[in-house]
Chain A
């Protein structure tokens, strides 16, 4: 006779697994990966490979050392590695890329309990730590032909130098990090994720709309503000991270608006030309409060 099994809800499980979701994210990142290699040359692939390899290895190594269940096969470390590489300039020394990957996986993700437990986005946080640690190499933007170029945001902040055209911005021929420049590729990936229902539209739309609106109010060029910096990659791939952003749709809207406001504050009035990664980290910290305030009320018995 079978024993009666009692377990807590949910009692019905869909066929969706972490691995499938992460695979979808990886597929969505592929256009940006191809674009980064076309724009910045094959060294981009090297940086991406190092980041992914070190992320997976450090996840495996940490879980082995701590005798935890090895979760490498859920592919989340691959996604973290790719996202981190996309946030690095092409000329970054490889040991620095490896350092950032270890920080992302071990410090930001595993020390807080592994997948689903990290309060901050590993890739965004690792990028901030690397910006602080290696401010020289993290802000040197070089094209494959050896020409170094400032990012559009830096050009706008200084008010000197030639801005790329709208078309160049859209295709990604500008100074910047590997995966953040090609708006076209990121849009393709983002639309794919929304169509596959891996992410919802709330956070990206709220984020982009807030930046657009604030730029308009402040009299800045909306097109350049939207297409420069890490805004597009953050909108679709970083502020939609499951574990470090609110789960409810209203919460996602609040999260997106908050990220947009902080980004604008840093871009227009801060010392740094770019504020997207800082805005993500700050809003990550606020996520538990947003979740608590925007939690859906139970239909019965919820009043207290």
Chain B
């Protein structure tokens, strides 16, 4: 796999949010405004990049049986650093992201990439994978946030949009609207970008993570 493919798979083909359906919680919670979405995407990408590099570098040292706690500790360390930096240099962003900034620790995308990719690939590959996945996460977040902010609040990155500001559909910025836009985007991506799985492909073989999943390699079904 060349590096370009390695990077671009995260954008659409294996988009962490819209295809792998990881990181749903921060996606729904922080996509109410484009600014917040960009901030969340950037923070998660930095953590993902650092954690992927370090986990990949330590992959031969970390014992297999305790790998999850090791990953969590490493990720938590990077999240703490990012959180301190954001608090110091972008307090407004810290206020708007609130609890979701420290919650990056348990973001499935970061743990998922550590488990599925970084622990069995070289450092450079893992770094490129992290950048691609981070970009895909940010892209999906921004797309959702654009739809929700423009129609729900009548603004784009805080700028008022002439007609829409008087005709807000405020449900779009609330939780139900988030779920709705999320479902809509997944449906569109499935329709236009994903090869439809053949009937027999339902199950592990049809899973977008099949190529990198341990259980699929062994031919086991993950429940």
Contacts and interface: CB of A to CB of B under 8 A. Distances in A.
A278 B217 CA distance: 48
A192 B170 CA distance: 39
Contacts of A135: 170
A262 to B, nearest CB: 19
Contact of A134 (B170, B174, B177): B170
A93 B163 CA distance: 14
Contacts of B177: 133
Interface in A117-140: 129, 132-135
Interface string A92-131: 0101000100000001000000000000000000000100
Contacts of B176: 129, 132
Chain B facing A: main interface SS: helix
A259 B131 CA distance: 52
B174 A132 contact: yes
Interface residues on B, range: under 10
Interface residues of A, dominant DSSP: helix
A134 B169 contact: yes
A93 B169 CA distance: 12
Interface string B152-196: 000000000000000101111010110010000000000000000
B171 A129 contact: yes
A132 B177 CA distance: 10
Nearest to B170: A133
A93 B166 CA distance: 12
A132 B170 CA distance: 7
A122 B66 CA distance: 51
A99 B177 CA distance: 14
On chain A, which size bracket covers the interface?
under 10
Nearest to B167: A95
B180 A133 contact: no
B167 A133 contact: no
B198 to A, nearest CB: 20
A100 to B, nearest CB: 11
Nearest to B183: A111
Contacts of B172: 133
B180 A99 contact: no
Contacts of B170: 132-135
Contacts of A129: 171, 176
A133 B148 CA distance: 12
Contacts of B167: 93, 95
A292 B180 CA distance: 30
A99 B114 CA distance: 43
A95 B167 CA distance: 9
A99 B174 CA distance: 17
18 contacts: A93-B167, A95-B167, A99-B169, A107-B180, A129-B171, A129-B176, A132-B170, A132-B171, A132-B174, A132-B176, A133-B169, A133-B170, A133-B171, A133-B172, A133-B177, A134-B169, A134-B170, A135-B170
Interface of B: 167, 169-172, 174, 176-177, 180
Given A132-B171, A133-B177, 16 more contacts: A93-B167, A95-B167, A99-B169, A107-B180, A129-B171, A129-B176, A132-B170, A132-B174, A132-B176, A133-B169, A133-B170, A133-B171, A133-B172, A134-B169, A134-B170, A135-B170
